[in-house]
Amino acid sequence: MWLKPVPSCFSMLKPYCSATPPPPTTLKFITAMKTTEEPDVGIFCYISQLPGFRGILKQRYSDFMVNEVDAEGNVVHLTNLDAPAETVKEIETKTHDATSKDYTTEIESFRSLVDPDDAERLEAIINLINSGSEDSILPIVLSPDYDKSHRTAVHNFFKENFKFLVTDTVDGPDASSKCIRVRINSGGQNSRGRNSRKRKERGDKPFDSRGSDDWSENVGKFLRFHLYKENKDTQEALGIIGKMLGVQPRSFGFAGTKDKRAVTTQRVTVFKQLASRLAALNDRLIGIKVGDFCYVKEGLVLGQLMGNRFTITLRGVVADSEDTIKASAIALGKQGFINYFGLQRFGSGSVPTHLIGATLLRGEWKSTVSLFLDPREGDILLMLLGTLRQLPRHLVSEKAILQCLKKCPGNYLQALKAIPRTLRMMYVHSYQSYLWNHAASMRVQKYGTDRVVLGDLVYCKGNETEKVSEVVRSECVDENGNDTLDPIDLDDISGTNLPEERLNLVKAVTAEDILSGNYTIDDVVLPMPGSRVILPENDIADVFHDLAKKDAISLTESVHNVKEFSITSMTGSYRRVFQKPMDFEWEILKYIDANKPLVDTDFDKIAKTKPSSLNGDGRLHDKTKQSECLDNDVGLQTDDNGAKAKGEELPQAESLCDTNPQETQTALKLSFTLPASCYATMAIRELLKTSTSVSFHKTLN
């Protein structure tokens, strides 16, 4: 149910906020845009009018710690690296009878069939077998193969030449690729392998290649563990663990992704794996640790969390006085912040995700593909680089599109559908977020932050359900009822709203409600556009229609019949306009050595109890990691922040590596919990009164 649009609402904006609204999301605007700034996506208001102060977020990635909060409200920590006494027994069999043969000829033939690196991997595994070390051999995964007939030839080659090995096909790094996995045939040389046994020989149990098919009936099929990682994103960390275990990515389950430039701890489940196997990886893992193992009946899925606990250290703090810092911290705890979707919601590339979402909603398939593939400043020149195999793995959408166009030239819609579903839906959700941010700014601009006004939307209280005109879940779901979670929301958000809010009902505030005082400013919500949400019954409703109309998008009817790229086919959701940090704590610290951590991580705490088992200084060393010194090459787009007092320039921060080690500096340590879907950077923005954009933060270094 949508209200009828009226003439533009932006003429009503007053000079209260920090910036004016940007132009509409047209292709002309895209070509001129280099980096996304907060006003471009509707972020230009604050709650308090206190002055900001200078502070550097993530000068070291260990200054940003994130601990997941599970659905029961427990903060997830890494406390123990040891595996418990195993109650699970796998059936072990001798795997081969091939230690005496020379396979040089077969390997050379294999080299002509596959990538040279794959031949080297095969030779290495055969050498291990011949040395009698088969018990420690892990499966190998060959390079991505897009040709089914070629994969068949490789499978047949192994059947004919390496009967002590067995192969199967697993998912590749992107949607349209597959990889061949090679592992020891545990059934022996003359057998097709235990995994190829007839179903009746397995007790009528289907083989699941995610883990062992021999598993005790009385033990949960999923191993749950706590994943601790430094300066790595969730997929990267699990990819490393998966390769070591020889399992597919789909074997792992988790409630939410955590960002790279941070120290994070979260729960993960893996299907049918022994705790002892994972615990044994700790000695080999770099920048990653696993622990706190237990077996459970169900695996984790996205959204199964209450939120995140943040421990954030702002370094290099400069303010008029400590009283300024204290006043700002107290105000953040009491008043909270505007619950904007942060810049990370809109991507880090030259073309923000909401602009791509707008072209999808207009049904401009070819234009959308061009946005992905046209060379643009700061991005890899995709069309000039060469083959698909040369594309970096993180360019998932680009690779999927090119692979499809290679097979079906000119079929741009099909190419867009080749992008993994959660990723392609993220672009449409990003446009919804763009509209929501602008509406939130208008709500603050016009009506302030201290009272409920006539026509505001609120979650119902008490016995008011009969007065509600529409019922909707407060998370994004599609018409099939499937959760549509956003993979770009990383460590300082969690993909869905709080579970207890999902079935809450929404109504428009009446004059009677205002007189009764039943509702406060904390109850106010705004909709994410969709077919089953209502708009505020005041002029804030006009923001949605006005902005969409400028982008040639209708919120009430679709110009094409592709439901997943249509707002009218999406249910919609609601989001609180204001959010207060929970269990909020803060502390002003003094330090001299800028290279010294100011807060212990989970691993630091373990290291203090078991120093002999760790590296020399008790730290989790990563030989390949980037320096913790912040430089211009570090990916700051997800949640980096700088500091500038409102309306004035402050002194530039020195590089961490150049800081005078004898100079006493000030830091502000913040600890707080946010519910799922909230952005910690928006809380820091309210505190410092500064932009969170990459371009601004680079000026501090």
Is 236 domain-assigned? Answer: no
Q: CA-CA distances (angstroms) from residue 384 to 12, 387, 683?
A: 47, 9, 41
- 254/68 Cα distance (integer angstroms): 11
| Res. 693: pLDDT tops 80 | no
| CA-angle at 109, arms to 103 and 111, nearest 5° | 100
Tell whether 432 is covered by a domain: no
Give the 3-state secondary structure of residue 584. strand
Give 347's contacts (C-beta < 8 A, 6+ positions apart): 36, 353, 430, 488, 637
Q: Is residue 660 part of a domain?
A: no
Q: Is the pLDDT of residue 501 over 90?
A: no
Residue 148: alpha-carbon gap to chain centroid: 32
Q: How far is CA 252 from the centre of its chain?
A: 15
Tell the residue number behind the tokens 């700051």, with chain if given.
Answer: 636
Q: What is the pLDDT of residue 688?
A: 94
Give the per-residue pLDDT at 580. 96
pLDDT in tens, 198-208: 444 444 444 44
pTM of the model: 0.71
Query: Is the model's pLDDT at 293 over the cut of 90?
Result: yes
Is residue 455 within 8 Å of 514, Cβ to Cβ? no
Q: Would you give the distance in Å from CA 54 to the centre of its chain?
A: 28
State the Cα–Cα distance between residues 27 and 371, nearest whole angstrom.
Answer: 9
Looking at per-residue pLDDT, the higher value among 521 and 654 belongs to: 521
Q: Both tokens of residue 35?
A: 């980096």
Task: Please report whether residue 179 resides in a domain.
Answer: yes
Question: For residues 657 and 672, what is the distance between their CA atoms, to the nearest angstrom?
Answer: 29
Yes or no: say if 571 and 477 are a contact pair by the CB < 8 Å rule.
yes
CATH classification of the domain holding 166: 3.30.1370
Whether residue 580 contacts residue 57, with contact meaning beta carbons closer than 8 Å, is answered with: no
Domain assignment present for residue 159? The answer is yes
Contact 648, 35 (CB under 8 A): no
Mind listing the pLDDT tens digit for each residue in 554-612?
998 888 989 889 888 888 999 999 999 999 999 999 999 988 999 999 999 999 887 55
Q: Where are the beta strands (DSSP E) in 159-287?
A: 165-171, 178-184, 222-230, 252-254, 263-271
3-state secondary structure of 283: helix
Identify the pLDDT of residue 497.
35
323 within a domain of the structure (yes/no): no
Q: Is 583 designated active site?
A: no
Q: In the prediction, which pLDDT does 198 show?
A: 44
CA 154 to chain centre: 35
Rounded to whole angstroms, how far apart are CA atoms 681 and 338? 11
The helix/strand/coil state of 499 is helix
Q: 38 lies in a domain? A: no
What integer pLDDT is reported at residue 661 of this predicted model? Answer: 55
Domain that holds residue 178: 104-184
CA distances 266 to 258, 474, 619, Å, are 8, 24, 20
For 606-629, give the secondary structure using H, E and C.
Answer: HHHHCHHHCCCCCCCCCCCCCCCC
Contact 338, 423 (CB under 8 A): no
| Set 174, 213, 259, 492: catalytic member | 259
Dist. CA 645–CA 499, nearest whole Å: 37
> How many domains, the chain?
1
Q: Which of 138, 107, 105 is nearest to 120 (CA)?
A: 107
Q: What is the pLDDT of residue 93?
A: 41
Strands 524-528 and 178-184, how do they pair? Answer: unpaired
- Tell me the torsion sign for CA atoms 245, 249, 254, 256: positive
> At residue 97, does pLDDT exceed 50?
no
Residue 280 lies in a domain: no
Tell whether the torsion through CA atoms of 358, 42, 342 and 485 is positive or negative. Answer: negative
How far is Cα 298 from Cα 301, in angstroms, rounded to an integer?
A: 9
- Predicted confidence (pLDDT) at residue 135 exceeds the cutoff of 80: no
Task: Write the CB contacts of 500 (distance below 8 Å, at least 6 apart in sequence).
Answer: none
Q: 68, 265 in Cβ contact below 8 A?
A: yes
What's the CA dihedral at 518, 523, 524, 528 to 10 degrees? Answer: -140
Residue 211, SS3 per DSSP: coil
Spatial CA neighbour of 321 closest among 53, 540, 531: 53
Average pLDDT over all residues of the chain: 77
Q: What percent of the chain has pLDDT over 90?
A: 44
The answer to whether residue 357 scores a pLDDT higher than 70 is yes
Q: Are 312 and 63 in contact (CB under 8 A)?
A: yes
Q: What's the CA gap between 619 and 628, in Å, rounded?
A: 13
